[in-house]
Amino acid sequence: MICPTCKNPMFVVEYKKVELDYCGNCHGVWFDAGELDILLEAVKVDGSRRVLDDLLKADEPGTKEKKRKCPICRRGMRKVNIAGASQVLIDTCVKGDGLWFDGGEVDHLIKYLEETAPDKPDRGKVFSFIKEVFKS
């Protein structure tokens, strides 16, 4: 897969049945449709479906940030704010192919989830792994 931001080839990082496409150059991450849901369920985030629905249904904010093309369908993606972090925009495919997180944006999502999700025994381990893999 080619990175929608810097156009470099991305490589696959696999964890808990989720194969994420990661750009080693700009540190962006592509979640195919359903992968973020699987990951959130794996770390036992209560209401993970609600978190995703909120992201996908959010209004597109006015921004000067360049729109990116979906690496799957090549259509322009929508910008949406990550809940709780109004200045962090992610890109969502209009056809539902997936979500694009620029370098460091996955960390903002993890921080938001850490603040809002109830404590679960393996949550910290998985969040630590994700933070290490996707640090900006």
pLDDT in tens, 41-64: 766 666 666 666 666 666 666 677
User: Bigger pLDDT: 62 or 11?
Assistant: 11
- Rounded distance, CA 73 to CA 30, Å? 13
In a domain, 4, yes or no: no
Residue 1 resides in a domain: no
CA atoms within 13 A on the CB side of 103: 11
Token representation of residue 21: 């496409």
Mean pLDDT across the chain: 78
What domain range includes position 35?
A: 11-133
Q: What is the pTM of this model?
A: 0.79
